Amino acid sequence: MERDAKNADVKITYATMSADQMEDLHRAIDRAIEEVGPQFGKAYPMHIAGRAVEGRGTFDDTSPIDTRLLLGRFQKGTRDQAGEAIAAARSAFPAWAARPWRDRVDVLEKLAGTIRKHRWELSVWMGYEAGKNRLECVGDVEESADLITYYCDQIRKNGGFVKSMEALGPNEQNLSVMRPYGVWAVISPFNFPLALAAGPAGGALVAGNTVVFKPATDTPLLGLKLYEMTVEAGLPPGVFNVVTGSGSTVGQELIENPAVDGIVFTGSKDVGMHLLRENAKRPAPRPVITEMGGKNPAIVTRSANLEKASDGVMRSAFGAQGQKCSACSRVYVSREVRQQFVDLFVEKTRTIKVGNPLDRDVWLGPLINEAAVRTYERAIAQAKQDGGRMLIGGRRLTDEPLNHGYFVEPTVIDGLPREHPLFYEELFVPITVVADVASLDEAIELTNRSEYGLTAGIFSEDDRDLAEFFGRVNAGVLYANRRAGATTGAWPGINSFGGWKASGSSGRGTGGPYYVQQFMREQSRVRIR
């Protein structure tokens, strides 16, 4: 995994980097900051059938680091325009689907290469737009390229998913062929604005579908950058279209328009469930893949290495300001080691530097918007009212220059009853609640009580504990003793990533061996000679 950062095919994951690579990375990011600055404030059109299209008015995309920074102006797309984009994707579909799969793999690999080529510039834009730190942004960009490459590999490995079947007689030839559906809508969240656009879109496209993509309103810029990458990589006009605008207009049209053949959504449980319900009202079935929220626990047992555990929990609780679907937002710690663990966890949290995430020594940036700050403040107030103790944090940061952005302190809360809503609701802010447990059994029971089932982690030096944990926890992604992240940091081709229960509808992980097939349907072909 670790290669030279100067090398064009460097690989930077969320967890792997040497000191030399780090120096090179920072130099490259410093340069990209210089280059990106003069491009602030431009207006960006939407792109339908390869044409630049204006919406009905525009909206401003400002940075959560400092809202006085106008990053760009984006189009308020209308429902009609979303409809036009769907029609464009529909007309582009037959030719794209008819291409040999090897051609499509070539084009998509070019797209992955284009993303890698622009990695530094994309990372810097992302830092400004999503407020994530340097390493998080570079990881997001690298992951985008790797997801696409992985889906290309899957198509190649499976010979385009054309398989010979058995025959009942000598004159018979039977084939199973996976074929694309048609037009897919890709709806993405703000927190991984490139990976969760490029990944699903890449899967849909390499499988032979065409795409209409709607980025989150908080992160349209990275969405438009992805479009630019597809043009540079040579995707034909109409194969990938991008519309910007609100979920309730453009997004809703993507759900309701009868010409959309499939939807892949990543975002909150509320919106994902709304989508599934709307889908069920249609006269005929249609695939809808929803990747949704999480309330991910870490379990710390009596035999845990507490240095590892406190590092792992701190990174997963607060990385990207707690705005990862896989963030660790609750901890069940064995009574015997509770005090020691909490002391280490709080001590490490104290060393976190909050500030402009584009500064090289800053680890924690701002929340995405004012609504997220309100969620944070509401949760803190609720915790205090219900007897919770702030072991650290609990305040919005309002000193100059942080008062121009959405900065809050990473927060650890103790002393709440284990039935408290803060153990169950996804908040998507840097708050983690800690409870102590008498046994592993109890910890697993509490883990599974959540409606969510995305990720979970355990720290234990006892193999029997690990076997129990792996066997009994109902979640899609399980980690044991992972110092780099107790519950976060999956990588394409290394850890499939997907949720169970309210965390996901498909039971197939992104970046895993069963993902890309979801964008195809099987056709059985029987031929008698």
Q: Can you give the binding site for ligand NAP, defined by CB under 6 A?
A: 187-192, 196, 214, 216-218, 246-248, 251-252, 255, 266-268, 271, 274, 291-294, 325, 426, 428, 454, 499, 503-504
Which CB atom, from 196 or from 408, has the smaller least distance to ligand NAP?
Answer: 196
Do 216 and 188 form a contact (C-beta atoms < 8 A)? yes
3-state secondary structure of 231: helix
Counting beta carbons within 10 angstroms of the beta carbon of residue 482, is it exposed (0 to 12), middle (13 to 18) or buried (19 or more)? Answer: buried
Instruction: Report the catalytic residues.
Output: 291, 325
User: Exposed e or buried b for every residue in 184-222, given b needs 16+ CB within 10 A?
Assistant: bbbbbbbbbbbbbbbbbbbbbbbbbbbbbbbbbbbbbbb
Strands 328-334 and 431-437: parallel
Please give the Cα distance from 455 to 495 (Å, whole number). 11
Please give the Cα distance from 252 to 260 (Å, whole number). 12
Min dist. Cβ of residue 405 to ligand NAP (A):
18
3-state secondary structure of 366: coil
Q: Is the peptide bond preceding residue 410 cis, with omega within 30 degrees of 0? A: no
Min dist. Cβ of residue 336 to ligand NAP (A):
33
Work out whether the CA dihedral 506, 508, 514, 517 comes out positive or negative.
positive
Which CB atom, from 83 or from 504, has the smaller least distance to ligand NAP?
Answer: 504
Which CB atom, from 252 or from 340, has the smaller least distance to ligand NAP?
Answer: 252
Among 192, 255, 259, which Cα is nearest to 223's?
Answer: 192
Please give the Cα distance from 32 to 35 (Å, whole number). 5
Helix 338-350 to helix 306-318 angle (10° resolution) is 50
Q: Max CA-CA distance within the chain? A: 81
User: How many Cα atoms within 13 Å fall on the side-chain side of residue 479?
Assistant: 31
Which CB atom, from 101 or from 519, has the smaller least distance to ligand NAP?
Answer: 519
Angle at the Cα of 516 (from 514 to 519), degrees rounded to 5?
Answer: 120
Q: Which residue has the tokens 């385009």?
A: 160
Which CB atom, from 279 or from 356, has the smaller least distance to ligand NAP?
Answer: 279
